Amino acid sequence: MGKMLETIGSWITAIIDYLGYMGVFLGMLLESACIPIPSELIMPFAGFLASQGKMDLVFAIAAGSFGGTIGCVVAYIIGHRYGHLLEGPLRFIFPLHEVRRAQRWLARHGDSVGFFTRLLPAIRTFISLPMGMARAPFLRFIVYSFLGTTMWCTALAYVGWILGENWVEIKTYLHYGDAFVLAACAVLVIYYLWKRKKRSRFV
C-alpha cells in the first residue's frame, strides 16, 4: 500500500509540476468525481510550489476548488441519471460499501452533507453519487459542495505552504488530520445548534 501511494504521489506531482494550475484543477476534478486520487497529495504539493514562488497560493486554491466542485457535479449527474446501474453492471467498478455509507449519511443529515462531508475521509469522494440518486436540490448542492471543497483545498494548500519541502510528510499525519477535522465539524455543528436555539428565544 505504501509503495502504491508513493507511485501515485510521484505521478500526481509530475502532472502538477508540468501542467501547473490545470494539473491542480484536473486532479481535484477527478478526485471529486469518484476517482480516488488523494487530495491530501494534490493540494499540499500545490501549496509547496506556492512557497517556492512557482504558483500563487490563492490561484492554486481556486483551481482546486473549482476543479473539485465540477467533479462533484459530474458525480451528481452520474448518480442522478445512472444511479440504478450501481446495483447492476457497475457494481464491480464503484466501491459500493462507500456509496452505501454515503447514502446513510445523506438519509441521516439531509442535503447539508454536501458541505461537511467534503471535510471527511473517503466519504468526500463518493457523497455526490447518492446525492444525485436522491435528487438533492441541485443549486444547494453546488453551493454546499463549493464551500466545503474550498475549505478543504485551503487547509491542505496552506499546510503544504507551511511545510515547504517537507510537504510530503503530511501523509504521516493524515489520520490525525482526519480526526481533527471530525472534531472541528462537531464543534461547528454544536455552535450552529446553540446559535439557532438562542435566536429562537427572541422570536
61-73 residue pLDDT tens = 999 999 999 999 9
Average pLDDT of the residues in 112-116? 73
Segment 121-138 mean pLDDT: 78
How far is Cα 139 from Cα 118, in angstroms, rounded to an integer?
Answer: 17
What does the pLDDT look like over 82-101, one tens digit per residue? Answer: 866 665 555 555 556 656 66
Spell out the residues 6+ positions from residue 190 whose beta carbon is closer than 8 angstroms to its own.
Answer: none
pLDDT-derived band at 173, boundaries 50, 70, 90: low
Of the candidates 150, 27, 148, 145, which has an alpha carbon nearest to the alpha carbon of residue 77? 145
Q: How confident is the model at residue 7 (pLDDT cuts 50, 70, 90)?
A: low
**pLDDT surpasses 90 at 110:** no
Q: Is residue 52 pLDDT above 60, yes or no?
A: yes
Q: For residues 120 and 49, which has the higher predicted lDDT (pLDDT)?
A: 49
CA distance linking residue 87 with residue 32, whole number of Å = 21
Q: What percent of the chain has pLDDT over 90?
A: 23
Closest CA to 39 of 14, 12, 18, 19: 12
pTM of the shown model: 0.71
- Whether residue 49 has pLDDT greater than 60: yes
* Banded model confidence at residue 118, pLDDT cuts 50, 70, 90: confident
Q: What Å distances lie between residue 125 and 34, 60, 193, CA to CA?
A: 5, 20, 27
Lowest mean pLDDT among 44-53, 105-114, 152-161, 178-187: 178-187
Question: What pLDDT, on the 0 to 100 scale, is given for residue 66?
Answer: 97
Average per-residue pLDDT in the chain?
A: 76
